[in-house]
Amino acid sequence: MAEGDLAAPDLGAIAADSHGERAVGRPTVYVYEAPVRICHWVNALAIIVLMITGYLIGSPLPSVAGEASEHFGMGYIRFAHFAAGQVLAVFFLARILWAFVGNHHSRQIFYIPVHRKQFWSEVLHEIRWYAFLEREPKMYVGHNPLAQTAMFTGFTLFVTFMICTGFALYSEGEGIDSWQHALFGWVFSIWPNSQDVHTWHHVGMWALVTFVTVHVYAAIREDIMSRQSIISSMISGERQFRDEV
């Protein structure tokens, strides 16, 4: 497996050569395989549904009048939340499995190479780039080191946290003998009072809101500023390196 995610040497040369000059071509690399892209968009959709319905479970819509048998508003909202949650869990799991069989880019969001000095110096470089202290960004085929750190924390860790607390809360309705309780009941050993689990699950939602904000902003910005395709890459799977500034 190719350690790190720097562009292949020839690409690096092209990137360097392109500085101030017209490059010879627009090289394209296949980065995101189909399962990665499918998981990305399914998860993105599920997370949006989860955020909206989750917020409405914490702060329900205004009360409706009439007979209880005529309405099922809260029930549908909760159903959407539970359904989207399970979809997210399944596709997150599928994404983890794909990390074992996919290309090395598919493994990127599941670890941070903390032991590599070069990784951290490149993280620093990216931070300086975002702080407007670097004039030129480095080019990467996959995620840049800062993005990798953000994806690992903001997506992998946060979503894992949400899946664990979410299934633990779901197990309360399913019952103490359910498989959900058998698998995720340990959450209640950390917070014996389910109200606390609700609270932290809710905080987790806001943590994901901040991640999604930064994620979307960084993707759009990099698309414009780094002279490489970001957003269309998650649709076509191919990363194109452009030369124009």
CA distance 186 to 165: 10
Minimum CB separation of residue 29 from another protein in Å reads 25
Q: Is 64 in the site for another protein (CB under 8 A)?
A: yes
Here's the x/- map for another protein, 140-169, by CB under 8 A: it reads as ------------------------------
CA distance 142 to 234: 11
- Choose which of 1, 21, 75, 117 interacts with another protein (CB under 8 A): 75
Phi then psi dihedrals of residue 44, to 5 deg: -60, -45
The secondary structure of residue 6, as a DSSP letter, is: B
Residue 73, interface with another protein (CB under 8 A)?
yes
Of 124, 221, 232, 235, the one binding another protein by CB under 8 A: 221
Contacts of 126 (CB under 8 A, 6+ apart): 137, 138, 144, 145, 146, 147
**Cα(157)–Cα(109) distance, integer angstroms:** 10
DSSP labels, 130-187: HTT--SS---BSS--HHHHHHIIIIIIIHHHHHHHHHHHHHHHHH-TTSHHHHHHTTH
Taking the CA atoms of 127, 154, 3 and 88 in sequence, report the sign of the dihedral they define.
Answer: negative
Q: Please report whether residue 1 would count as binding another protein according to CB under 8 A.
A: no
The set of residues, in sequence order, having a beta carbon less than 8 Å from that of 34 and lying 6+ positions away, is 237
Stretch of 3-11, 90-98, 103-111, 189-197 contacting another protein, by CB under 8 A? 189-197
The distance of closest approach from Cβ of residue 104 to another protein in the complex, given in angstroms and rounded to an integer, is 30
**213 touches another protein by CB under 8 A:** yes
Per-residue binder mask for another protein (CB under 8 A), 23-62, x = binder = -----------------------------------xxxxx
Of residues 225 through 244, those in contact with another protein by CB under 8 A are 225
134 is a site residue for another protein (CB under 8 A): no
Footprint of another protein (CB under 8 A): 58-65, 68-75, 77-78, 130, 132, 172-173, 175-176, 185, 188-189, 192-196, 198-200, 202-203, 205-207, 209-210, 213-214, 217, 221, 225, 245
